[in-house]
Amino acid sequence: MPSDLHERLIWEATRKGWRTEPWKPAVQERLRMQPWIEEADEILALLTECPLQPDAWRLTIKRDGPGCDLLLWLEFLEVEVTHRISRDKWQWYSAIWEAFDLTDRLEFNVIVMASDGTTWELNLYPRREGHVA
């Protein structure tokens, strides 16, 4: 078990299904499969450009209900022990969220973990003029 708090929290997350190896190859491979390939061209290009490595990530396949399409969820975990998510990361995550939001079968979330291990979903919904949060 790692001794640094940041690394220890990531290690705990891996015990709950989060992955720490580079995310791009696995995500790109899955997006090239049916049924997601039809919606993935622009997203694949965006992800190829993305320089970020989250603290951890996971892919989940879900179905909203009987007879519904399969949904592919990509989630990134950011552990905030000493500093918050940078503006640059926020902009990349927002761009990824917007690209995924334009599809019917792909979802993207960023989960934030505090130093006490609590988690919450980062609100990446774009704040447009006239939008009330």
Exposure string over 37-58, b if 16+ CB within 10 A, otherwise e: eebbeebbeebeeeeeebbbbb
Cα 93–chain centre separation: 8
Cα Rg, the chain, nearest whole Å: 15
pLDDT tens for 74-121 read 999 999 887 788 889 989 999 999 999 888 889 999 999 999 999 999
pLDDT tens for 28-54 read 999 988 888 888 888 999 999 999 999
Q: What is the DSSP letter of 10?
A: H
Residue 125 pLDDT exceeds 90: no
